[in-house]
Structure 1
Amino acid sequence: MVVLAVAEGEHRDGPHADRVAASAVSLTTGRERSALAAVAAGRIWRVFKPEDARQCSVYVDTQAAAASYVYAILSPGGLASPEFAEWADRDSRRYASDLSSSLRKRIHGTAMPKLSEAAARDMRRLDPDASLDTAFQAAVRILFRLLLIAWAEDEGILPYDRNDSYRRKSLTQQALRLANDPKLGAANGRGYSIFEDLKALWAVFDGGSAEMGVPAYNGGLFDNNTAIGQQIARLRLTDSTVASVLRTLLTTDADDDEPPGMADFSGMSVREFGTIYEELLEYRLSEAPQDLTADLTPADDAPGGEAKIAYLAGDPYLHDKSGQRKSTGSYFTKPFAVDHLLAEALHPALEEHLQRVANVLTTEGDAAASEALWDFAVLDPASGSGHFLVAACDMIAEQFSKFQDNNSLAGVADALDRMRSAARTALEGRDPAAEAMITDRDLLARLAARKCLYAVDISEMATELCKVAMWVRTFVPGLPMYSLDHQIVSGNILLGVPSVDEAVDLLDPPKHRKPGQGSLAAEAIRVPLDRANAYETIARRLDESDHDEIEAASAARSDAGRALESARYLFDAALALRLGFLLTDRKGRIPETTDAESIVAMVRLQDETSGSAYAALRELDPHGRRPTHLPLMFPEVYRPDRPAGPGFDCVVGNPPWEKVIVDREAWWGLHIPGVRSDPVARRRARIDAHESSNPDLAEEFEADKQRAERLKKALRRAFPDLGSGHTDLYKAFCWANIAAVRAGGTVGMVLPRSAMSDAGMAKWRRRLFKNAGGGA
């Protein structure tokens, strides 16, 4: 065991002080190869098992005065027996689980129904035709604004304990006032002051306040310039609604031992944000088709005809996909699966990468090695809210930190010094405790998140929460929230061309080229990609440690996007060919086109033509977005001169296990409360009756069926080896992921057992194991 002595209180009283101690412990144990470490801070000892440094936030605290516990933890006998450690670990995990479970029940049972239904009513006050889906998305965003600020105040990221001006306006103080005065909010229930106070607090978090000691974080979740942000800015939620939501989320009830107070968010892990979000994916707002009771059963079905009506016909109400309301659920990747996949896929890729950097240091020197360190790319192609990405960031930061400790790259050290200096300048000496939180490991994590990690998800809200998770995990006091809009994007990699070579071969088939003849399509794609990478290089060399650099990086990436526009049309044409939306002549070429420029012109024209091949591509996406071509989304990863080769070094994640089909009973169950629990005959009769009396919904159902059918056909054309049986999204992702990884890269996926046994996946398994011989 290694024992590290620090000043009393340093490891626990300051915000994130455990991370300061954990960084030192990680370096110490890295040298000593010890299985356990303790931080001794006066009367308090904190014991870690730091073999997995990103779990250093898991520890045992004990007072030295409690000698028996100290002896139980540290004595040879205590360490030799697993019972104590297992008991401590089991009970601490149970406590954390109870906190999380309680919060999620309050969210599902009270907070989200009140918040989303109130948002829908107010939006329809302004616009009778306002979308219920938009209202739900606004409510989700408000919920996560509240959770993030509550967590940030408890963790010390926001200066609740260090700045009187902030404390008076803080969410914690608002919650405590509500806890101590049950009548607050009810007395003026029709007022709007509480919600307006929340808007002011969100503006402080977003734009910063020198008086309150809050730097401008520029968080996308708080941005009022987005479509959802503008809707939230216009909302007027009553004091009674907001007070009820805040009490539910943020306060604890009084009991015999404790007065009412603020719920403890400091024990929440970043993963909990993702868990909550992924459970909320099961919910939607609908209009009550008839009067409903609080448990969402039709009032007419109440025994004896006596029912307390909670929703009148036409009122918005929140329910899950069964048509009922649930209070718990689990829709996220379990931590053990995340840890296992990263250990088996990401860690080997990191080892190979760092060996390559060491070779560069030997042969080309410090400057080249400092730049090569960041030339490492990890993709989660269906990221959800970022479980894998956050854990990957921790692992990369830990390995990079050890490498830097052993090699002292001057270029990397200079970048860390610049960021530390910028943070201290922003804090202006007002917050010494926050300055003490700034560690090299956290600065490295911030850089790794900006330069090495990429994510795509079909849900725009999921990508926003993925960004939040990365910001939270890589938070450095004084530094603004850097832009992640380039690395974390909303889209669908299944609907895109995965490589430059495939795009060229589709546009200019090799069988029609003479031996040694080049391709005009290849040149037409290479030139804009080179220009885009020149701009991307500018962006990557900026630290984004102040707003000027963030704006400069954003401008460079905007220039890169404009440079790629012609290539984007070429890739769209290639995808249209791949999916059979564009016909070719007998020579395999697009009729009436002779070169890449004419292809660009043709597709650009079709961009605005109803019924065109390009329109067909957009119809495949539920939001009408352009296709997601990875080489154009992330050109720096696919540059041909990349030393490791074009493509991602590691692709990791948990793709959706979902059949591409619209089930009639499941679909109508979203619109008819309780119908899925009816006996079969009654269920079908109710659906038939509802379909007949609601032609708009019947039309929507048919549109969803047709969209699913189009997507199924497109996926089978894009991935012709999907095999027989249902078209399942996980099968398509299996093929897409091995197309995204570079030669010799690694892939780690959470898959159903059928991936290894289904006859329809035999070709994929053969491809996978063939590639495994070469390291993929």
Structure 2
Amino acid sequence: MLRYLRRIEDLTTGNLRWGILTNGTRWRLYYQGARSVSEQFFEIDLAAVLGLPGHGDGLFALSDDQRRHWLRVFLLVFRREAFLASSTDERTFHQRALAEARYYEQRVAGNLANVVFQDVFPALVRTISASVPSAELEDAREAALIFLYRLLFIFYAEDRDLLPVNDHRYDDYALRQHVRLDVGRRKDNRDVFSTRATRYWSAIKDLCQAINAGDPSIGLPPYNGGLFNPDRTPLLEDVRIDDQTLADVIDALSFEPTPDGRKYINYRDLSVQQLGSIYERLLEQEVVREDDDIVVRPNPFARRGSGSYYTPDDLVKLIIEETIAPLVEERRAAFNRKAEELAGQDIAEDRRLGRLKAIDPAEKILELKVCDPAMGSGHFLVSLVDYLADQLINAVAEAEATVENYVSPLGDRIERIRNTILDHAEEAGWTIDPAQLDDRHVIRRMILKRCVYGVDKNPMAVELAKVSLWLHTFTVGAPLSFLDHHLRCGNSLFGCWVREALDKAERYGTPLHLHDPIDRALRAASKMQIIEGLTDAEIAEAHRSADVFAEVQEMTAPLDGFLSLIHALDWLDPREQTQRTALRAFFDGEFGDPVAIAGGRQTPRQPAERRDDEVMRGQIPAHEKFRVFRDLLDRCFGLIREERFLVLQLQLHTSCPVVGPFRLRLMAPAPVAPVEDEG
């Protein structure tokens, strides 16, 4: 279908952009102008609508009213007249429907943004601060953001049937039925909500725990990617939010005031990009204490400081077309050239197909590594997943259509992942609709784990990007993909290359103390390959990814801390003689292990004073040299904390040989001539 739409659009110069795909029972309407053609289509299971035996049975059976409704929708969408302009409107029914859907999405997103900024977020921050008075305001701010991210995840997942909302076992724990709609009904009836009871809070917390750890008794697999991990946001474990406050929050996020009354906001109709843009703007808000009140206000320097700016859709599309599309086309062209070359040779078919599989275009596209160095909410990366998913599906179809008897090796990998998920679901008694595990879902998950990298200076932006990508690549029955190794917190503009930093360090002193940290960092590369090879299709693999990455961080931390210190010294540019002498003493190990001190694992120690005759010869007293060094070290640590220097080669690791314009290598230091002591 993707090949058909692309070709028919070219042949008709853009006049025909629709396509229908059906096997007689399921009907799909595709649109070439969609963000992701493979993902965004309209589908109706006509066999289930008509109530045919063996279709739409069990948990997913439709009621009589639902069948009548969807039959009318089928006739409305797939009738011939829907593709033609009317006498009163040059647009077709589908074009009008798309325009109205975009308007609805923009209107609802705009209203949501207003209530989140003006009411929801400030109320949560104040309540959390009041519940735990000893908490720092920044901790309260981050806890409020994480709580909102969790609500966003659950609302979106339930409204899109990604959580088992059709399973009666899940009914009593679903937020849509027992929190959102219950709040709406009680608000309509002008009920009173308790200022002391915490029934809604308990329901939300219980579901968050079930999502994190899984609960087979209610048909829920474990989806722990870190968002619902109580250890990551311990403040939320100490908080209890009363029903009145939480009812106002839930109501604002779930219902839209209209002239016809309050309307339920179905998050199914909102794109991840729109939701991400709303919550990304929260990163501009700062929390301050004014007298006895806690105030949430915009920080005009927040975006300038963090570099978090929302990239418009048109610009994202242009960037992808100009940078990623040529790389994809190179891989397609290489396969086609090889296929033509081998077609003219007299070799056995299995040898010919084997050689082609070595350069399979889909597999080669999956080897791309793309990094957004200021990802914000992940808008560009979400669009990147869409684009690459379409290209992978198209590459498989074209290769198999071009070469007789050719089968892409990607198909076997997809099937193994799908079977792993289904096998675990069957063993554990989880509720899964196999239709939600077709190739496109598995492919998007593979792209996320293999191709997507991102950096942002704001740690809460990193968490928001994870939420956006998790929602966009959600795979029922499989845990949320481990992303900590690809989405990193730091300032991508400020950092250093390993070779360059080592050369600078060697000008101050001997490089011997760096041999072990470099060796450990190099060995970490093999462990990163382990993570890349894990599919995270089951919870054990996701845990394995996290455990191996913890080992990688431990192995690279000494060199990372040392390189950050070198870069901070570059910023400070110490030129005074006493400063350079103090630094030479540091690198020579007079104050302790330089690598351990740079990483904060060792406190510098003051050396013994020199003999009087040495002082008389002009040497700086040991205590003065130590004082100068401590001053420089404190200033360096302050810069590192504030600027979040990012050593790309270590933070994104050797698993990423090419990241955007950056080529990453870890290199051992070469010997250099010693520098004369300037003291």
Q: Structure 2 length as normaliser, TM-score?
A: 0.74
Matched, 1:533 2:525: yes
| Inter-partner Cα distance in structure 2 for 1:420 and 1:43 | 23
| Inter-partner Cα distance in structure 2 for 1:374 and 1:521 | 39
| Inter-partner Cα distance in structure 2 for 1:66 and 1:367 | 47
The superposition leaves residues 26-52 of structure 1 with CA deviations (integer Å, 9 ceiling, x where unpaired) of 365467777421246989976432265
Distance change (3 Å), C-alpha of 1:188 and 1:591: closer
Alignment-derived partner of residue 193 in structure 1 = 199
The superposition leaves residues 260-282 of structure 1 with CA deviations (integer Å, 9 ceiling, x where unpaired) of 66421111111123211222123
| Inter-partner Cα distance in structure 2 for 1:33 and 1:288 | 60
Alignment-derived partner of residue 225 in structure 2 = 219
Distance change (3 Å), C-alpha of 1:96 and 1:135: same
| Inter-partner Cα distance in structure 2 for 1:185 and 1:131 | 34
- SS where residue 495 of structure 1 aligns? coil
1:120 deviates by 1.7
1:175 deviates by 1.7
- SS where residue 169 of structure 2 aligns? helix
The superposition leaves residues 283-338 of structure 1 with CA deviations (integer Å, 9 ceiling, x where unpaired) of 2333234xxxxxxxxxxxxxxxxxxxxxxxx0223333479xxxxxx962221111
1:220 deviates by 1.9
Matched, 1:568 2:534: no
| Inter-partner Cα distance in structure 2 for 1:437 and 1:379 | 28
Matched, 1:114 2:123: yes
The superposition leaves residues 465-505 of structure 1 with CA deviations (integer Å, 9 ceiling, x where unpaired) of 111111111111111112101101111123311x3342344
| Inter-partner Cα distance in structure 1 for 2:561 and 2:384 | 33
Distance change (3 Å), C-alpha of 1:436 and 1:647: closer
- SS where residue 636 of structure 1 aligns? coil
- SS where residue 382 of structure 1 aligns? coil
- The within-5 A match list for 1:282-301 is 282-289=284-291
1:195 deviates by 0.9
Alignment-derived partner of residue 26 in structure 1 = 2
| Inter-partner Cα distance in structure 2 for 1:448 and 1:431 | 25
Is residue 569–residue 600 contact of structure 1 (8 Å, CA) maintained in 2? no
Alignment-derived partner of residue 630 in structure 1 = 648
- The within-5 A match list for 1:463-502 is 463-497=462-496, 499-502=497-500
Matched, 1:339 2:317: yes
Is residue 201–residue 246 contact of structure 2 (8 Å, CA) maintained in 1? yes
Alignment-derived partner of residue 424 in structure 2 = 426
| Inter-partner Cα distance in structure 1 for 2:587 and 2:638 | 28
Matched, 1:578 2:570: yes
- The within-5 A match list for 1:442-481 is 442-481=441-480
Matched, 1:319 2:297: yes
- The within-5 A match list for 1:137-148 is 137-148=142-153
Aligned residues: 572
Letter in 2 for 1:221: L
Distance change (3 Å), C-alpha of 1:350 and 1:592: farther
Distance change (3 Å), C-alpha of 1:553 and 1:31: farther
Letter in 2 for 1:460: P
Unaligned runs of 5+ in 2: 11-16, 44-71, 302-307, 340-351, 401-405, 605-628, 666-679
Alignment-derived partner of residue 96 in structure 1 = 105
- The sequence identity of aligned pairs, in percent, is 23
| Inter-partner Cα distance in structure 2 for 1:357 and 1:631 | 31
Alignment-derived partner of residue 435 in structure 1 = 434
Matched, 1:376 2:380: no
| Inter-partner Cα distance in structure 2 for 1:335 and 1:175 | 31
Letter in 1 for 2:275: F
Alignment-derived partner of residue 506 in structure 1 = 504
| Inter-partner Cα distance in structure 1 for 2:104 and 2:252 | 20
2:19 to 20, 24, 37: 37
2:415 to 414, 417, 425: 417
Alignment-derived partner of residue 675 in structure 1 = none
| Inter-partner Cα distance in structure 1 for 2:3 and 2:512 | 53
Q: Structure 1 length as normaliser, TM-score?
A: 0.65
Alignment-derived partner of residue 636 in structure 2 = 617
Letter in 1 for 2:140: A
Alignment-derived partner of residue 248 in structure 1 = 252
Matched, 1:235 2:239: yes
Alignment-derived partner of residue 36 in structure 2 = 54
| Inter-partner Cα distance in structure 2 for 1:546 and 1:288 | 49
Unaligned runs of 5+ in 1: 1-24, 290-313, 324-329, 514-518, 639-645, 651-737, 744-776
Matched, 1:176 2:181: yes
2:391 to 396, 399, 404: 399
Letter in 2 for 1:145: R
| Inter-partner Cα distance in structure 2 for 1:59 and 1:180 | 33
Distance change (3 Å), C-alpha of 1:543 and 1:316: same
| Inter-partner Cα distance in structure 1 for 2:587 and 2:287 | 51
Alignment-derived partner of residue 300 in structure 1 = none
| Inter-partner Cα distance in structure 1 for 2:412 and 2:461 | 34
Alignment-derived partner of residue 752 in structure 1 = none
1:88 deviates by 4.3
Matched, 1:351 2:351: no
Is residue 166–residue 212 contact of structure 1 (8 Å, CA) maintained in 2? yes
Letter in 1 for 2:652: F
Alignment-derived partner of residue 656 in structure 1 = none
Alignment-derived partner of residue 591 in structure 1 = 584
| Inter-partner Cα distance in structure 1 for 2:186 and 2:576 | 73
Matched, 1:167 2:171: yes
Distance change (3 Å), C-alpha of 1:209 and 1:394: same
1:379 deviates by 0.8
Alignment-derived partner of residue 274 in structure 1 = 276
* Range moving further from structure 2, 476-485 or 488-497: 488-497
| Inter-partner Cα distance in structure 2 for 1:36 and 1:576 | 56
The superposition leaves residues 505-537 of structure 1 with CA deviations (integer Å, 9 ceiling, x where unpaired) of 43457xx99xxxxx9899777633431111111
1:396 deviates by 1.6
Letter in 1 for 2:412: D
Is residue 31–residue 41 contact of structure 2 (8 Å, CA) maintained in 1? yes
- SS where residue 628 of structure 1 aligns? coil
Is residue 382–residue 472 contact of structure 2 (8 Å, CA) maintained in 1? yes
| Inter-partner Cα distance in structure 2 for 1:577 and 1:132 | 31
Letter in 2 for 1:469: S
Letter in 1 for 2:265: A
Is residue 220–residue 464 contact of structure 1 (8 Å, CA) maintained in 2? no
Alignment-derived partner of residue 549 in structure 2 = 557
Letter in 2 for 1:629: V
Distance change (3 Å), C-alpha of 1:159 and 1:386: same
Letter in 2 for 1:244: D
Is residue 270–residue 473 contact of structure 1 (8 Å, CA) maintained in 2? yes
